[in-house]
A and B are shown apart, each in its own frame.
Chain A
Amino acid sequence: MFPRWLVPEMASALKRTIEALMERGAVVRNLENLGERSLPYKISKHNQDHRRGGYFLVDFDGPPTIVSTMMDHLGRDVDVIRPTFLKHRVSKTEECSGIIPVNYEDKLYTKKK
């Protein structure tokens, strides 16, 4: 997330982060812009209060050791309000079989083995 800057500033900030990622040996797959909107709550960072920001999503593949160093690096960047790293979970919702009725009687008493 970036605070409200002019578009070239935002572009340069993005470029910096992606270069930093690639320096540490990550392969950047995709960059998505989730739009610029007002933040859900006021965030104060780097002695400033931010109410609007641009949201960006970077898909990359890299070693897990990269996370701590990148968080450090992005924390120091004035243009970045809230850096977050998430695992890219491959979602599979094909096998949802519905609510299976639970037999509560069995669960009430512990089975002594």
Chain B
Amino acid sequence: MAATLVVSSRVSGRLQQILAAGKSASASCAVLWRRGYSSQQEQVSHKVDLPIEMENPYKEPPKRCVLCGINVDYKNVQLLSQFVSPYTGRIYGRHITGLCGKKQKEISKAIKRAHVIGFMPVVYKDPTFLNDPKICDIRHPE
């Protein structure tokens, strides 16, 4: 019975027939009536209601690491010492420093270079730099 109803609804003239004959629930009658109504109208283009394509206006600027834009040099031992453990002198990993890939590599290369050349101590952090502002927090790594 449902199949026959669907076929007949395509033709607008048969609307009243369906309404009269309908012994089925009123909900299905209402649906058919709505469908019939839309086919009576002109062909509405389906593209008017689509959202306008644009770049995400709420896009946040890309996150920057602490050293973005700062030149890393093997000579400034103070900067390099900030990324080194004060107890053992070991270089902190990426998950602790929070630096991006490029800068982490640059820092670790610079630190190793400073070790060899004799600018920076290897197994401890220079005591004059112990009270510097803390960039890497071991207790709460991001």
Secondary structure of the B side of the interface?
loop
- B75 near A34 with CB under 8 A, answer yes
Residues of B within 8 Å of A82, CB to CB, are 117-118
- B121 near A41 with CB under 8 A, answer yes
- B118 near A40 with CB under 8 A, answer yes
- A41 near B122 with CB under 8 A, answer yes
B100's partner among A53, A84, A86, A99 (CB-CB below 8 A) is A99
- B120 near A99 with CB under 8 A, answer no
CB distance from B101 to the nearest CB of A (A): 9
Residues of B within 8 Å of A98, CB to CB, are 61-65, 68, 100
Asked if A68 lies at the interface with its beta carbon under 8 angstroms from chain B, I say no
Given A34-B75, A91-B71, A93-B69: A1 and B118 within 8 A (CB)? Answer: yes
Secondary structure of the A side of the interface?
loop
A56–B116 alpha-carbon span in the complex (Å): 15
Chain B, interface residues (CB within 8 Å), range: 20 to 34
- B62 near A100 with CB under 8 A, answer yes
A39–B126 alpha-carbon span in the complex (Å): 11
- Residue ID in chain B nearest A40 by CB atoms: B121
Bits for B21-56, please: 1 = Cβ < 8 Å to A, else 0: 000000000000000000000000000000000000
- A40 near B62 with CB under 8 A, answer no
A82–B113 alpha-carbon span in the complex (Å): 13
A69–B138 alpha-carbon span in the complex (Å): 45
Bits for A88-103, please: 1 = Cβ < 8 Å to B, else 0: 0001011011111100
A91–B72 alpha-carbon span in the complex (Å): 9
Q: A39-B118, A41-B118 are in contact. List 10 more A-B contacts (CB 8 A).
A: A1-B118, A40-B119, A40-B120, A81-B118, A82-B118, A93-B70, A96-B68, A98-B61, A98-B100, A99-B100
